[in-house]
Amino acid sequence: MSSTTTTSTITLNEGYFVRRNWFDWLFAVLVVAGGLFSLNQYSHAMNGYEKGILIGTMPAMIWLGWFWRPLNKLMLAIAALSLLAIWLYHGPDGVAHIDRSETVFGLKYFLSSQSAILWMSVLCFMATIFYWISLFAKGERDTFGAMGSRMTWVAITLALVGTMVRWFESYLLGPDIGHIPVSNLYEVFVMFIWMTALFYLYYEDQYQTRALGGFVMLVVSAAVGFLLWYSIVREAHAIQPLVPALQSWWMKVHVPANFIGYGTFALAAMVAFAYLIKQQAQETKWYKLAPLWLLGVALCFEPLAFRQSQETGSSYWIIYFGISALIVAAILAARKPIAARLPAYEILDDVMYKSIAVGFAFFTIATVLGALWAAEAWGGYWSWDPKETWALIVWLNYAAWLHMRLMKGLRGTVSAWWALVGLAITTFAFLGVNMFLSGLHSYGEL
């Protein structure tokens, strides 16, 4: 009589730290070394809160780099290029001079803050074009989509390099002028551009589809178009001293948290637009193509809204309107082949939900931080200032969206339309308040 012994093998999930490779640990060491060097080198210019932010940033950066590994390379590239730019600003005497941005080749054409941001702008436009080509290409679709992704990565890198170098340049102009570049409309538009694009790349990687790149990069390119107008016509790229109310460490945490919300809300709206395009691809009655007509009306209205005078509005915004109209017409004419390339409804719905959930969490944090900042600056947590009122409207809108999603199972057409309406509300809170209303937050009038 023989007996058979059966041995079963139980495979347990590896521990979090066991899954780290050598590059993860090298990245962690470099982040800690860079943070400690900065603390040692610049601690005299920081107060206690700012030192705490710097110390807290180190583990946060390590976690982000471990959570999504492409961020490792992004952060290292930004650090290397920013340090190169800072080195180029130093002359033979070892002293940094702001006027070297016009005489040193590497700064003048690539790494000064304005040059880097202009390259970011060009690359965002090019990435948008390549993403759209990939939707229609047959044999080389993946190649064009990959080019769009790579250009977006480089654009984000240069946007952040431009931001870091602008921070350094502000101190070259004077210690009392130096500040983190998140203080005015020009600087936060740069933040909105790279943040929206970066969140899109994360979802592109997670869902392994580039079909949404053309839609998301449209809103990014629209922001770039505004940024170019704002910097050329209004010379908003010039670094200005902070107004007294902004000379606070609260700004360093409140503004970035806010723009994570703005960026992800915009991303969700463009995914919602793609959802509706896919849903209505077979519709033959033009008056029922509501999403496309809505986009057309918005693009037609935008030049009129920004037209402040004959000098600033006539030429640039007419060209902007013409290009926008051509884009709308092309999407309208090609809705069927576009819809065929888009991901399944379930993926679109999931990306929409996750984007709004992330944005709502950070927008909530930003609102609480803003209230604390207001208490310090103005002596009260809430004053029903127009910006505060519209921030509350934005928060309530997305709170209701998430409630309906989680409690009532909101999906499909209604959720997509709601996300698009949310973008209109968010855009007014972000930009419209500065254009049409005044109040305590009027730091970036148009």
Smallest CA-to-CA distance from 261 within 129, 355, 124 is with 355
Note down the domain range covering 60.
Answer: 22-38+49-345
Q: What is the pLDDT of residue 267?
A: 97
Q: Which of 42-56, 280-294, 400-414 has the weakest average pLDDT?
A: 280-294
Does residue 362 lie within any of the structural domains?
Answer: no
Confidence of residue 3 (pLDDT cuts 50, 70, 90): very low
Q: What is the pLDDT of residue 153?
A: 98
Mean pLDDT of 306-334: 67
**pLDDT above 70: residue 10:** no
Q: What is the pLDDT of residue 26?
A: 96
Q: What is the DSSP letter of 241?
A: P
Mean pLDDT of 266-274: 94
Does residue 431 lie within any of the structural domains?
Answer: no
**CA 306 to the chain's CA centroid:** 22
Tokens for 200, please give them. 């899109």
Does residue 401 lie within any of the structural domains?
Answer: no
Does residue 150 lie within any of the structural domains?
Answer: yes
**Between residues 235 and 223, the one the model is more confident about:** 223
Mean pLDDT of 357-378: 90
Cα separation, 254 vs 369, in Å, equals 6
> Are residues 364 and 395 in contact, defined by beta-carbon separation less than 8 angstroms?
yes
**pLDDT above 50: residue 381:** yes
Confidence of residue 443 (pLDDT cuts 50, 70, 90): low
Does residue 378 lie within any of the structural domains?
Answer: no
Does residue 415 lie within any of the structural domains?
Answer: no
**pLDDT above 60: residue 370:** yes
**pLDDT above 50: residue 7:** no
Mean pLDDT of 131-141: 85
Smallest CA-to-CA distance from 238 within 313, 166, 161, 316 is with 166
Does residue 352 lie within any of the structural domains?
Answer: no
Mean pLDDT of 407-425: 90
What's phi and psi for 181, nearest 5 deg? -80, 70
Residue 243, number of CB atoms within 10 A of its CB: 10
Mean pLDDT of 126-132: 96
Q: What is the mean pLDDT of the chain?
A: 86
**pLDDT above 80: residue 141:** no
Q: What is the pLDDT of residue 257?
A: 93
Please give the single-letter amino acid code of residue 180: I
Confidence of residue 359 (pLDDT cuts 50, 70, 90): very high
Structural domain count, the chain: 1
Q: Which of 30-39, 57-66, 326-335, 363-372 has the weakest average pLDDT?
A: 326-335
Does residue 416 lie within any of the structural domains?
Answer: no
**Between residues 293 and 333, the one the model is more confident about:** 333
Tokens for 186, please give them. 């020009």
**pLDDT above 70: residue 14:** no
**Between residues 294 and 115, the one the model is more confident about:** 115
**Between residues 290 and 444, the one the model is more confident about:** 290
pLDDT digits (tens, 9 = 90+) for 330-351: 777 788 899 999 999 999 999 9
**pLDDT above 50: residue 28:** yes
The Cβ-side half-sphere exposure at 35, using a 13 Å CA radius, reads: 19
**pLDDT above 60: residue 385:** yes
**pLDDT above 70: residue 271:** yes
**pLDDT above 70: residue 117:** yes
Q: What is the pLDDT of residue 221?
A: 94
User: Which of 125-129, 370-374, 417-421: highest mean pLDDT?
Assistant: 125-129
pLDDT digits (tens, 9 = 90+) for 48-103: 877 888 899 999 999 999 999 999 999 999 999 999 999 999 999 889 999 999 99
> Are residues 127 and 151 in contact, defined by beta-carbon separation less than 8 angstroms?
yes
**pLDDT above 60: residue 115:** yes
Alpha-helical (H) ranges within 93-212 are 105-106, 113-136, 141-173, 185-207
